[in-house]
Structure 1
Amino acid sequence: MTKRKMKSPPVGVIRKVLSILELLDSVPNGLQLNQIAEETGINKSTAHRFLSHLESEGYLFRDGHSNYMVGTKLSRLGSGASFQATLSKLARPVMENLRKLTGETVNLAILDGIDVIYIDVLETGHTFRLVTQIGSHLPFYTTSLGKAMVASITDPARLEELLSRVEFESTATGTIKNIARLKKQLAVVRRQHYAFDDEEAVAGVRCVGAPIIEANGEVVAAISISAPVVRFTNDRVPMFSRELCKSAREISWLLGNRTSDTAVSTRSKSKRR
């Protein structure tokens, strides 16, 4: 049986792609297509083809001004800190738009073991508000962010291992206190695609959170809206959850997730540019 030879990409193509990546790595605020073509000496149409492919794979992303920047997939190959910084930068315009629509605080977080870590917070303009510090840790089961992420874990073994490590502690009157109730809530989150925190982390505060899914279909972060219960009334839940889920899908799209679930975000993104 004759072995089939694998076709290798031309060395020139690899060199051009690397020159683009090296250039963008040296410019944190990103560059537009014309600038990239000029700086690298690559034909504009060729550069656009490379950039489009790198963006679709999650190695690059474009901000609201069409500047290409290093994406989370590429920064993850480096340090965790650079990944968090890149994720925050990518998500920031979406978060700002969500804060403008809702008038409330918007949070971005990742999962670290059984804790949620806040990596970005955009505070509301209201005087009466909850102030959460970037870098703060909270048990995942007390937050909408944490429940949204854990409910989206696709590996059953990883999920069970994580749940087995939970030691329930009350931080507010509504805090979940047993594994049965937690699993029941996680099942609801999977069905509705967002999680709710009704005074479970902090007394007097409600939050709604949705997962951010990257290109490989795995949860990587979550975004949430938080507000005092006097403003986050039941009649605001439908609008908050709808806009939140749109924002989560848009960030997922920026991470290279091109599933049908991100179609709404794709259309919204193209309209704003």
Structure 2
Amino acid sequence: MKREILMNTTARETRVAILEDDVLVELMVDRPDAARMVGDIYKGRVEAVLPGIQAAFVDVGTEKAAFLHVSDVALDEDDDDEEPGSAAPVDEDEAANGAGGQGGGGGGRRSRAFPPIQDIVKKGQDLLVQVSKEPIGTKGPRVTAHISLPGRFLVYMPGSDHVGVSRKIEDREERARLRALAREALPPKAGGVIVRTVGEELNKEVFERELKALIALWKQIQKKASKARAPAAVHREAKLVAGIIR
């Protein structure tokens, strides 16, 4: 598959288009006067739990409280091999970002039963969350408790034990090989991982190097969060261009 990145920069904005086999698959716009939040991680505090819509509002220090749906906090170990939301949106197709609206379930997920949100989070509770959707209009950002740290070839998910491969890698033998290598590269009880599209045909040594760096980053985030008083930012995602290059 031929993959191209086209970029246009002006004084007011940077536009990045991603083409696969000459077909536009993603278009992103970054404006210097509008700070990007997607991918940022915060130590937040639960402001309110709303059983009626199975959601909670979390104070992350922004003007409007962040929205947390039950699907973004309950454990969900289905065999979904999309790459979760990140600054360079965790399939590369925004699996974790793609909620259509703040009242709905997790983006693109099949309908399933979750435990009641009031049994999972409590008002006043501190919670580590990651922004999956930018604030818009009168709405605050959407967040998820399913943290994901994207690297060049892998997406590391410290709170999951799922090992997956991007759906864009279609060859069954290659998918099986990559899944096996990713499992071997993961230290015991270290979390989960998804092999990104650009990880195709790579070896275990490459995965091990990247996982070592991502796990070290996660430990730094945990250390910072343990010392921070909510609400506080504990990790800023790479800006648009840096994230795309990665």
RCO comparison, higher one (Cα < 8 Å, 6+): 2
Which is richer in strand?
2
Structure with larger Rg? 1
TM-score w.r.t. the length of structure 2 is 0.30
TM-score w.r.t. the length of structure 1 is 0.28
